[in-house]
Amino acid sequence: MSAAITSTQQGFSLIEVSIVTAIVLLLAIIGVPAIGGYVVENKVPKVGEELARFILQTKVNAPNGSTEPYDGIDTLNLASLVRDSSIFSVSGTGPSTKVLHGLGSNGEVNVVSHESGTSFSITLHKVNNAACPSIASVMQRVSDTITVTPESGATATVKDIASSIHYSALATESKCGKGDVNTFVFTAS
C-alpha cells in the first residue's frame, strides 16, 4: 500500500505578506491626513468653549464703571484659567508663559489688551484649516470683531459689530488657507 502524501500549508508566503503590507501602507498614507483633520475638528468645540468662558469670565470680573476695564490683561490671565485643562498645554512661567491650543502644530494663544484697556483680543496662531470656520462659529457669540489671516494672504474681517459686518461661516471658510497657516484674532470689549 502506498501512503498518500498530503501537503498542508503552514503559514503565509512572502508574496502574500508583502501584498497585505503594501495595502496597509497605502491605506495609512491616504488615511493619516484625514485622521489628523478629524482630530483637530473634534478639539474645536472644547477649545472654543474654554476661550468663550475666558472672555465671559473676564467681562464679568472687569471693574464696574472703569474706562479701562481690561488694562493689563495678557496671556498669563488665560494661562492661570486653563493651566489644569486637558485641552490646552501651558508651559513656562511669568512673561515666558506659552499657551498652546492644539488646533494646529505648535499653535499658540496670545491675549493682549487694546485701546488703553477698553478691549482685549485673543489671537490663535497656526490654526489648521480643519478648524476653520468652526472655531470662529463658536467664538462669534462672544466676540465683537473676528479677523482671519492665512499665511500667504491678506487679513480679512469676518465679523465687526461697529462696521455692521455680520458673521458668515461660508465667508470665513473661504478666507482660510490650507494647513496650519491661519491666524484668528477675536476681540471683545
Q: Is the pTM of this model over 0.85?
A: no
Query: Looking at the DSSP assignment, which residues form a beta bridge with residue 109?
Result: 99, 124
Burial of 45 (C-beta count, 10 Å sphere; 0-12/13-18/19+): middle
pLDDT score of 9 = 64
What's the mean per-residue pLDDT of the chain? 89
Tens digit of each residue's pLDDT (9 = 90 or more) over 70-90:
998 999 999 999 988 888 999
Q: What is the mean pLDDT of residues 4-19?
A: 79
Q: What is the mean pLDDT of residues 32-51?
A: 83
Q: Give domain 14-188's CATH number out of 3.30.1690.10, 3.50.50.60, 3.90.79.10, 3.40.50.800.
A: 3.30.1690.10
Cβ pair 148, 175 in contact under 8 A: yes
Tens digit of each residue's pLDDT (9 = 90 or more) over 86-101:
889 999 888 889 999 9
Q: What is the mean pLDDT of residues 142-168?
A: 94
pLDDT score of 7 = 64
pLDDT score of 88 = 93
Q: Tell me which residue has cell 470665513.
A: 172
SS3 content of the chain, % helix, strand, coil (to 5): 40, 25, 35
